[in-house]
Amino acid sequence: MTAARFMRAGLVLLLLAMVLRPVWFTPLLAPFAPAGGPVLYERSPLWSLTLGHLGLVLVASLAATIVAVGLAIFVTRPAGAAFLPLSRTVTNIGQTFPPVAVLALAVPALGFGSGPTLVALFLYGLLPIFDNAVTGLRTLPPVTIEAARGIGMSPRQRLISVELPLALPVILTGVRLSVVIALGTATIGSTVAARTLGEVIIAGLLTNNTAFVLQGGIITGLIAVLIYDAMILLQNRLARTRDA
């Protein structure tokens, strides 16, 4: 086992231990808890909050990927090229408004819970995916596209069989950035009653309990690192397959 694989396995085990057996970390977290206060967050199971956190990120990232890639395909076709500036403006909305502002605007319409958080994560995740998808589709080798056209492929066939597979590594870079941003941003969803790891962090901030903050923050950080690493591995494998 290489050093990278050993480190990866160690991080996975650490994450599982913190989520499923938090009591093991009591001695390490105790110095950061207030005198006489609780060391471990026990109001909700950490595994349940972790699954809720990941579920929100997965749904929002999947929706953002479908919309952003679909929009990128449209504006890189001759019929949609004129809409590229407008599309950039639309996808920039999520980056222009802070997630807290999006939550505040969404709560009156959607109520408290997961809905406002999903809207915020969706809007915040559009831009990285859209920009990378446009770049990937606009920088394809002209020779390859001409060869596909020369053998009689229709525009639809070229898109599905040639353009998207070639652009996929670049698109995945945008998806990776979007997912990591969503993992961190999802913590604020707990301010509107969404079940995320932000519940642990916010509880720690409200009670001046750094042990809680560390619990929620470390778990969120480990998840982000592992998902980022997994997506890099996937991207590299796809790039090697494409170049083979």
Copy the structure tokens of residue 152. Answer: 């009689």
List own/partner pairs for 13-22 with CB under 8 A and 24 or more apart.
Answer: 14/222, 15/219, 15/222, 15/223, 15/226, 18/46, 18/215, 18/218, 18/219, 18/222, 19/46, 19/47, 19/50, 19/219, 20/46, 20/47, 22/46, 22/215
Task: Please give the pLDDT value at position 244.
Answer: 57
Q: Determine the structural domain holding residue 91 and report its residue range.
A: 44-243
> 195 lies in a domain?
yes
- In contact, 133 and 69? CB cutoff 8 Å: yes
Task: Please give the pLDDT value at position 104.
Answer: 78
> 180 lies in a domain?
yes
Low-confidence ranges of the chain (pLDDT < 70): 1, 241-244
> 55 lies in a domain?
yes
pTM of the model: 0.89
Which amino acid is present at 135?
Answer: T
> 10 lies in a domain?
no
Dist CA 68 CA 206 (whole Å): 37
Dist CA 183 CA 123 (whole Å): 14
Element (H, E) at 166: helix 164-185
Copy the structure tokens of residue 158. Answer: 């070229």
Domain count, the chain: 1
Dist CA 137 CA 135 (whole Å): 6
Q: What is the CATH number for 212?
A: 1.10.3720.10
> 61 lies in a domain?
yes
* Maximal C-alpha separation, the chain: 76
Which amino acid is present at 225?
Answer: V
Instruction: Return mean pLDDT, the chain.
Output: 88
Give DSSP secondary structure letters for 17-52.
HHHH-GGGGHHHHGGGSPTTS-SS--SS-HHHHHHH
> 154 lies in a domain?
yes
Dist CA 33 CA 22 (whole Å): 14
CA atoms within 13 A on the CB side of 227: 22
> 30 lies in a domain?
no
In eight-state DSSP terms, residue 161 is I
Task: Please give the pLDDT value at position 1.
Answer: 52
Task: Please give the pLDDT value at position 140.
Answer: 84
Task: Please give the pLDDT value at position 47.
Answer: 93
Task: Please give the pLDDT value at position 243.
Answer: 60
> 112 lies in a domain?
yes
